[in-house]
Chains A and B, each alone.
Chain A
C-alpha cells in the first residue's frame, strides 16, 4: 500500500501548480485512455465481426472474381449471386454438396439431444437441489468432474466400444454420447435455478395436500421454465456445434454426416469452390447466430454457468 501514500502526498501539491496541472499525469492518462478506449473498441469489433462478414461476402461472390481480386472487401448489389447457396444445398445426385441432408441430420441429433437431456436432467437437477439423499454431495462432485473431463480421453473407449457393438455410423450412437456428456452440465445449470425458487412455495403446496410429483409439475417446473428454455438453447448449441464425436462416429457414412462434419470433410477437397463452402459455413453458423441474438440475455447467463467442453 506504499503507492496509496505516494498518491496522498502528491495530491495536494497538484492544485498549487496550475502549469503542472494541465500536464499532470492524471490528465495525460485520462486523455490517453479516452482515445485508446475507442481504438480498442473499434479493434475488437473488427476482429470479432470481420470473419463473419468475410464469410457472407465470399458466399455472395463468383469464384473467378474472388481469385482475380482476393482483396475486395465489398460486393456491389448488382454483382451478388446466390449460385453458391443453390449448389451447397442441392443433393449429391444433382451435383450439389447435400447440405440440406446434413442440416436435417444435425437438426435431428440436436433436437433429440435437447429433448432427452432435459427429460433426464430436470428430475435430476430437482433431486440434487431439493431432496436429501445418501451420496448427494458425491454425485454433485462426480458431475463437476465429468464436466471438466477431457473429451479426447473419452473418445478412445467410446470409439472402440461403439465399433464393437456396431453402433458406429448411426445417429443413435452419437445421440447417446451427446446426452451422456451434456447431462452433467445441464443438471449443474438447472440446479442453480431450482435453488433460487423459495422452498416455502413448495411447502405451501405440500400442506395443501399436493404430492411430490404434483409439486414438481405444478410449482417448480413452471417457475423454472425460463431457466429450462435457456438450458435447452444451450444444449442445442453444443450439440449443433459438436465436431469430435461426429467425426469419430459418422465419417464413413456420408448420408449421416452432421453439418459441422460435412463442412470439415468437404473443406479438404480441392474440387469444391471456396465460395460454395462459404455458403455452407453460413448455413452452419446461421441457426446459432439466430438463437444467440434471440436469446442473448438468457444465454450469457448460461455461458458463464457451463461452457462447452473443448
Chain B
C-alpha cells in the first residue's frame, strides 16, 4: 500500500495486502544482504512476538475452546487436551435465537453501512466547493467519529429518553406525536402513513441511525479526498455540452467515486458486522437489537459459557470472512469486465 491511504489528498486505494513499497533489492554483496535481513528481523521481532502471542495464538485457542465444553467455573482444568465435540455448534445452530440474531446483525450491518456511506456522500458533495467557514464545518463533521463512544451513546440515550428527552419533547410539540416514543426500548411500533399502517422495528432503526451518524464522517473523509482528486476538466466539458447537475453527477462524478465507495462498503461492513460497543451501550441488545457480538459477550460474561461464546464468535468470523471473500471476488470480476 502506498502512502496514499495515509494521505487525504490522494485517492484511497483498496486496502489489500500488496507488495511493500520500497526500493529495488540491493544486489550488493551477500554479506550485506544477510546483515540487512538480520537487522530487519531484529527490528520487527518485538512487534511480531506481541502480535503472535496476544492475537494469533488467542485466536487459535478460540478455535480449540469452541469445540470444548468449558465454563468459566471450571477453566482451571481446561487445557489443550480436553474432550472435543461439536456440542457447542449444535447448540447454537439449532437454536432459533441464533438465526434471529444473525438476521438482525445482517440488517443492522447492511442498512448501517449503506446509510453511513449515503450520508457521507451527501456531506462530501455539499461541502465540495469552497465557502467561508468550510474548514470549520469539515472539522465539525468529524466529531461524531472521534468522540468517545461511551459519551455519545450516553447523550443519545438521554436525548431519546421517553421521560425527559429533548427529542420526544419537541416531537410531541412540533411534529404532533401522540405519545413519547421509546426509541431504544420498543421492539416495534405501528406507524400509519397515508392511511396504511406499517410496523417498524423502532429500536433497530434507532441503532442503525446511530451507526449512520457515528460512521458517516469516515465515508465523508474518503469521498472528500477522492472528489478533490477528480479532474475538473471532465465536468467542465460536460457542462459546456449542456449536462445538468444531476447528469454530471450520474455520468461524470459517480463513476469516479465508485471504487472508493466499494472499498468503503467492505471496510464499514466488516466493522459494523462486528461492532459491539454501540449496541451494547444503547440498548444492551434488548428490544430486537440482539446482534451476535452482544450474544458472544453475554455468553461469556453473564453465563460464563466459554464454549458457546467461542463457537458464536467463530461462526461470526467465518461468515464475515466468507462474505468478504465473495464480495472481493465478485468485485474483481466486475472490474475485469468493465
Residues of A whose CB lies within 8 Å of any CB of B are: 1, 3-4, 7-8, 10-11, 14, 25-26, 29-30, 33, 37, 40-41, 44-45, 47-49, 51-52, 54-55, 58, 66-67, 70-71, 73, 120-121, 123-124, 126-134, 136-137, 139-144, 146, 148-161, 163-164, 176-177, 179-181, 183-184, 187-189, 191-193, 195-196, 199, 212, 237, 240-241, 243-244, 248, 260-261, 263-264, 267, 274, 277-278, 281, 284-285, 288-289, 292-293, 296, 299-305, 307, 309-310
CA distance A48 to B144 in the complex (A): 6
The reply to whether A153 and B316 form a contact with Cβ atoms under 8 Å apart is yes
Of B95-103, B197-205, B294-302, B326-334, the stretch lying at the interface with chain A is: B294-302
> Which of A130, A156, A261, A296 has the most chain B CB atoms inside 10 A of its CB?
A156
A44 / chain B contacts, CB cutoff of 8 Å: 122-123, 126, 137, 141
The A interface, classified by DSSP as helix, strand, loop or mixed, is: helix
Q: Are A10 and B19 in contact (CB under 8 A)?
A: no
List 29 A–B pairs whose Cβ atoms lie within 8 Å, in order of A's numbering: A30-B244, A47-B213, A48-B141, A51-B159, A120-B46, A120-B47, A123-B43, A127-B41, A132-B25, A137-B17, A150-B273, A150-B313, A151-B274, A154-B59, A155-B297, A163-B72, A184-B51, A188-B1, A191-B20, A248-B300, A260-B151, A264-B150, A274-B158, A285-B147, A285-B151, A292-B146, A293-B139, A304-B225, A310-B149
List residues of chain A with CB within 8 A of the CB of B163.
Answer: 70
Q: In the assembled complex, which residues on chain B have CB atoms less than 8 Å from the CB atom of A148?
A: 15, 267, 270
A195 partner, pick from B3, B147, B156, beta carbons under 8 A: B3
- Residues of B near A304 (CB, < 8 A) are 5-8, 12, 221-222, 225
Given the complex of chains A and B, what is the CA–CA distance between A81 and B96 in angstroms?
52
Q: Which of B47, B72, B152, B245 interacts with A30 by CB under 8 Å?
A: B245
Number of interface residues of B (CB under 8 A): 114
Given contacts A153-B59, A199-B23, A260-B148, 4 further A-B contacts (CB under 8 A): A144-B17, A154-B58, A180-B55, A195-B22
| 9 closest residue pairs by CB, A with B | A11-B242, A133-B40, A180-B54, A131-B40, A150-B274, A157-B58, A305-B6, A71-B169, A127-B43
Cα of A199 to Cα of B51 in the assembled complex, Å: 28
Binding site for A on B (CB under 8 A): 1-3, 5-8, 12, 15-17, 19-23, 25-26, 33, 36-44, 46-48, 50-51, 53-56, 58-59, 61-62, 65, 72, 75-76, 122-123, 126-127, 137, 139-152, 154-159, 163-166, 169-170, 173, 213, 218, 221-222, 225, 238, 241-247, 250-251, 267, 270-271, 273-277, 281, 293, 296-297, 300-301, 306, 309-310, 313-314, 316-317, 320
